[in-house]
Structure 1
Amino acid sequence: MQLVIMPPDEGTISLILLSNAPPDDREQWQLALDADWPLSWRNYQLACSEKGAITWRLREAVREHYRLRINRLITGRGGKAVPGERPYQYSPQIARMEVLLLADRLHRYPGLSGVRRDVFGLAQHSTRVWRSTHPGHPFPQWPTMPYLPYRQPQTAPLTDLSGGTK
């Protein structure tokens, strides 16, 4: 059994207990890779890759938010329809700058394989929407996300973390 302590988020600390033993009947446990209710933390959810490796990826709601944001930046559409109003569309130069600012923001996410795949999918979506909306203008080139190198996890006995003695 291992306890994973996640970095603090707005004054709260998430603790994840990993176990290879079945839980006791008195405890409620959640399978971290449950397709209907995956383990989520901030903007990420735990997922399996096609090869069976476990990785973090962007939560579905976050991916949908960025898809909608890309649509709004490039086409002016994608928000709630307001009767009697036409959607406002940026000029190609302003839209390009806004898309590249969004790409720069997404470029700062950690370079885990699942997150990289999601950001690459958003870049492809941006290119498709751009080409259909601005066919005479070159599409914005998204930066390539850096890989997050593997690092050995830091471990410590629970007694050292709780301040107890051996």
Structure 2
Amino acid sequence: MLDLLSSLLMMLQSSALGDVVRNARYVYPVLEAIHILGIALLVGPAFTFDFRLLGVGHRTVSVNTAARYLLPVSHAGLAIAATTGVALLSAQATVIASAGAAPWKFGLLILAGLNVAVFHGGIYRSVHKWTEAPVAPIAARVGAAVSLTAWTGIIFAGRLLAYT
């Protein structure tokens, strides 16, 4: 398994994308800036939605309404952050992967993805029953807490990668 991961990281790093990101003068800093904007678009709406599930803020806004307006923006942010994240990783994939914060970041990314799948495949299927409730059911609140914690950890781990 580790051999496969090492091979994939080497392939990414030695790709044309890795070469461009490493060697073109302004590509890396521009990608970093776009990555940060993607994170803002992802995390801002996601946190707002999570806070609504926890009953913080505008309790009069239904969960369905919050989801309809916030989650598409968050999805766009995820697409931007993921695309630029892979491009940034390509510059020094093996070095980044060996950093102490890398397992945390990638592990928390997996946790965040699983949390979304469990939330949307589970409690959110019955949202019509509790969409107007000031506070969501415990399963939704647990999902919101996991989301808030995972994305906060991802951001911290990502910043730590820059200093290793």
From the CA coordinates, give the structure whose radius of gyration is larger: 1
Would you tell me which structure has more strand in proportion to its own residues?
1
Give the TM-score normalised by structure 1: 0.29
Give the TM-score normalised by structure 2: 0.29
Would you tell me which structure has more helix in proportion to its own residues?
2
Which structure has the higher relative contact order (CA within 8 Å, separation 6+)? 2
